[in-house]
Structure 1
Amino acid sequence: MKPTLTPALARIFKRLHYPFDVMLMCVRWYVAYGLSVRNLEEMMAERGIQVDHSTVHRWAIKLLPVLEKAFRRHKRPVGRSWRVDETYIKVKGHWKYLYRAVDKAGQTVDFLLRAHRDKAAAQRYFEKSIDQNGEPETVTIDKSGANLAALEALNAERDTPIKIRQNKYLNNIIEQDHRAIKRRTRPMLGFKTFRCARILLGGIELMHMIAKGQMKDGGGGQTPAEQFYLLAM
């Protein structure tokens, strides 16, 4: 029996004129593993499916925002002790900054790509993370003055301030977590536009969270691949 797609994905698939299982599989492989779109073009050709690498990229850009939005409705709550850090991502030959946080158990709190590494960027990241995940009790950061200034600005508006810890060594857990994201972005050889970078990083983070068991409805024995496909239904 053919599965029923979400209305948003059904509209997208109707315009793309390819079997939905082929598109979903290519997109999942792209964000789950260290593969380039040219790798995927060759892998599909070996299976008798002719698809251009630029088409795979277009599928990812169209489908991933819908899948990430669906995942956020099924994301497990995170702990209230966060480790926050940013890592470098190259976009059109220039370094941009991916703000990320995990809780003390290593579960991803949230992420946000920003053009600059300053107080405004950090504050926007904290506001987004709190809006999506609730307020933390404690936030651990490194010696970044921008992150400290952003948290102090947020605390100035709160009756119960967030406890701030500045300790580089306590942030090893988030630095280790960055590596999983970097392993997937390396074969992409940099991003051509900020928009594409934001969408593809969202897809990589989505698959990374699923692999860490952060999807509520994934406790019934489904594999990470099956959980990813469930987001389309």
Structure 2
Amino acid sequence: MAMIEFKGSHFEREVILWGVRWYVAYPISYRNLEEMMEERCVEVDHSTLNRWVIKYAPQMAQAFVRRKRPVCVSWRMDETYIKVKGKWKYLYRAVDKEGQTIDFLLTAHRDKKAASRFLTKAIRYQGVPEKITIDKSVANTAAIEGYNPEGIPEIELRQIKCLNNIVEQDHRAVKRIIRPMLGFKSFRSAKNTLAGIEIMHMIRKGQLQDGGDLTPAQQFYALAA
């Protein structure tokens, strides 16, 4: 397993990881984080903190995927709204029946193509589920039906809104962190930052395979090793 590379940075590895974790773990702005770092005797500009998150959050996410616990074969799939450059984009997410995060994907559109991309990505990393529960989304319905070859129902599709409450409630934990950010300046920034937020959320739910007795913070830092 490749170690995340911190060479060439003006700041120590530990300091960078502080900044990245605090931003993706708590509902704060970059200026709030700048003040927090200063309290630890670290003078770093909010723009530098932004670059750290954009650079290292997706690398931490890749490390997490390799060490993620298996999920159940009954999924709940839905999407929520994220503002990027003043316009709404779509965060596709899925959890299993126990509330464990399966996968996520930020897309520019809410249609069959986007839903199919998300479904294919989730299956690539988590395997084919036995059933997927959705609301009345036409795009998600088409994506799941399109995945089943020649009309053979390999994946059972259920459209039961009350059973999808678990994923709708799970959206709130992610959006609570995003709220103080007041929208993202670019799609790349949103995508990379969301990767960090999602893996911190999964760590808190106990989804790191070798987390053991480590605290969520220690588990996050261990991903860089």
TM-score of the two chains, using structure 1 as the length reference: 0.94
CA displacement at 1:46 relative to structure 2? 2.0
Which SS does the other structure have where 2:154 is aligned? coil
The aligned runs of 1:1-233 (5 Å cut-off) are 8-10=3-5, 13-157=6-150, 161-218=154-211, 220-233=212-225
Distance 1:9 1:140 in 2: 37
Distance 1:118 1:214 in 2: 29
Which SS does the other structure have where 1:217 is aligned? coil
Distance 1:195 1:122 in 2: 19
Distance 1:138 1:47 in 2: 48
Query: How many matched pairs?
Result: 225
Runs of 5+ in structure 1 lacking a partner? 1-5
CA displacement at 1:86 relative to structure 2? 0.1
CA displacement at 1:161 relative to structure 2? 1.7
Distance 1:222 1:57 in 2: 27
Are the counterparts in 1 of residues 3 and 224 from structure 2 also a CA contact under 8 Å? no
Distance change (3 Å), C-alpha of 1:32 and 1:157:
farther
Distance 1:76 1:46 in 2: 36
Runs of 5+ in structure 2 lacking a partner? none
Distance 1:81 1:210 in 2: 21
TM-score of the two chains, using structure 2 as the length reference: 0.97
1:3 matched residue in structure 2: none
CA displacement at 1:160 relative to structure 2? 5.1
Which SS does the other structure have where 1:86 is aligned? strand
Q: CA RMSD in A?
A: 1.2
How high is the sequence identity, in percent, across the aligned residues?
A: 63
Are the counterparts in 2 of residues 8 and 66 from structure 1 also a CA contact under 8 Å? no
CA displacement at 1:156 relative to structure 2? 2.8
CA displacement at 1:7 relative to structure 2? 5.1
Distance change (3 Å), C-alpha of 1:149 and 1:160:
closer
CA displacement at 1:65 relative to structure 2? 1.5
Task: Spell out structure 1 runs of 4+ moving beyond 6 A.
Answer: none
